[in-house]
Structure 1
């Protein structure tokens, strides 16, 4: 089987990061790309599910709030009953 060269354009920072990852996994970029292509052929689809499911602004804010609460430890603890009572108030 003969080989051909394929050129791929990508951000230099992304390339450096992914090369570091692949090296830690014991492979180079060429091997990783060949694995990806072979998996596509084997499964007759992409080996992951592409999605446009991007969180809306309210969800992004809730995620930020939750991360901040975890970082600072500043959050209220509830019993199960208290949690349901709070949820009922919201509805």
Structure 2
């Protein structure tokens, strides 16, 4: 089977770490990329699940609070500076 050359632009650290990993697995970088491409063709897509990180309940609650405050700023106290806000917190402590 004839071969065709392809150039890849990789971050140097990513390339170095990948070469080390694949060497430990008995592969060179070219063989590893070939395996990736063959598997992608076999599954007709990326050969691994691609997902976005789902925020946890605490993050969702914080985001909802932010949007509530942003949409109704008149309901919330504002401070001229962080120092003013901190002083009020320290006074209540």
Q: TM-score w.r.t. structure 1 length?
A: 0.57
Answering whether residue 47 of structure 2 is matched by residue 47 of structure 1, we say yes
- 1:16-68 deviation line (CA, Å, top 9, x unaligned): 00100000000100000000000011111111011221657x67xxxxxxxxx
- Which residue number corresponds to residue 31 of structure 1? 31
Root-mean-square deviation (Å): 1.7
Answering whether residue 7 of structure 2 is matched by residue 19 of structure 1, we say no
| Separation in structure 1 between the aligned mates of residue 19 and residue 5 of structure 2, nearest angstrom | 18
**Deviation of the 1:2 alpha carbon:** 2.1
Structure index of larger Rg:
2
Q: TM-score w.r.t. structure 2 length?
A: 0.56
- Equivalenced residues, count: 58
User: Structure 2: which 5+ residue stretches go unaligned?
Assistant: 60-93
